[in-house]
Amino acid sequence: MTDKEKRNPRVTTRTLQRMRERGDRITMLTAYDFPTAKILDEAGVDVLLVGDTVGMVVQGHSTTLPVTMDQMIYHSEMVGRAAQRAMVVVDLPFPDGQLDILHSVKCGARVLKETQCHAVKLEGGAEQAERIEAMVRAGIPVMAHIGLGPQSVHVLGGYRLQRDIDRLVADAKAAEAAGAFVVLIECVPSQAAAAVTEAISVPTIGIGAGPDVSGQVLVTHDIVGLTSGYTPKFTRSFGDVGLAMREAAQSYCQEVKAGTFPSDSESFE
């Protein structure tokens, strides 16, 4: 182990479990490319999620459904190379997490073999228990995702708050029993997320799930002002990179049109 690794060890499944037990909050953000992942990793983010949200925030689709497994591998390989400390978790896109279990195991194996990432995220709770168990048995760490499942947006009739506490708790318990190392909870009332966190021993990560969880995840584009218009209620702006980019591009255009860029110092003799 290098001196750098000793000072800043890799976040693992055991790290996250110890954080839960100590009451240390877990931080998680999305990343889809090398430079963004490198910045977030250096900032101290514990977990980077290569989410199928890439379909919406990068590709411009209205849902995550068009994203393919090959696209997830492409983005994950970049993020995996950039992250030196953070654990990197990769979404299994639709329908690779819904087809036969062997197919999902093979997709999870691709993530571990073809990228430098460490785990996969799978939407679903009790109905995915057998799939989670098979993947974990094959050596693939699984983060379960309960509550609102964006891949089921058409079944749900939209992005709707999930209020059934009994079902959420049952889903979380089933996922934990199957071997999930974390349960991500999306778009549920705060009291429901608190009940889930109380009911299981593995960490819970919330997005739109209130404060009573082990950690939080947000889409990086949302927190830095790189949105395409709609901002969910549960997010917060922590900076405005979008404004800075817009102003930089405007200044560039002005100087090119005025003939002041490039200057002599920016040109070759």
pLDDT digits (tens, 9 = 90+) for 101-122: 999 999 999 999 999 999 999 9
Contact by Cβ (8 Å): 231, 221: no
Contact by Cβ (8 Å): 129, 177: yes
pTM as predicted:
0.94
Tell me the average pLDDT across 156-175: 93
> How high does pLDDT run on average in the chain?
94
Residues 6+ apart with CB under 8 A from 142: 108, 119, 120, 121, 122, 132, 135, 136, 178, 179, 180, 181
- Radius of gyration of the CA atoms of the chain, in A: 20
- The CA distance from 123 to 83, in Å, is 24
For 130-142, write each residue's pLDDT tens digit.
Answer: 999 999 999 999 9
Lookup: tokens for 115? 């990228």
For 12-49, write each residue's pLDDT tens digit.
Answer: 999 999 999 999 999 999 999 999 999 999 999 999 99
pLDDT band at residue 232, thresholds of 50, 70 and 90?
confident
Residues 6+ apart with CB under 8 A from 72: 50, 52, 54, 90, 91, 92, 93, 111
Instruction: Give the residue among 77, 141, 81, 79 at the shortest CA–CA distance from 105.
Output: 141
Residue 159: its pLDDT value, please?
81
Half-sphere exposure of 24 (CA within 13 A, CB side): 9
For 71-111, write each residue's pLDDT tens digit.
Answer: 999 999 999 999 999 999 999 999 999 999 999 999 999 99
Contact by Cβ (8 Å): 178, 132: yes
Lookup: tokens for 119? 């785990």
Residue 1: its pLDDT value, please?
37
> Annotated catalytic sites, by residue?
186
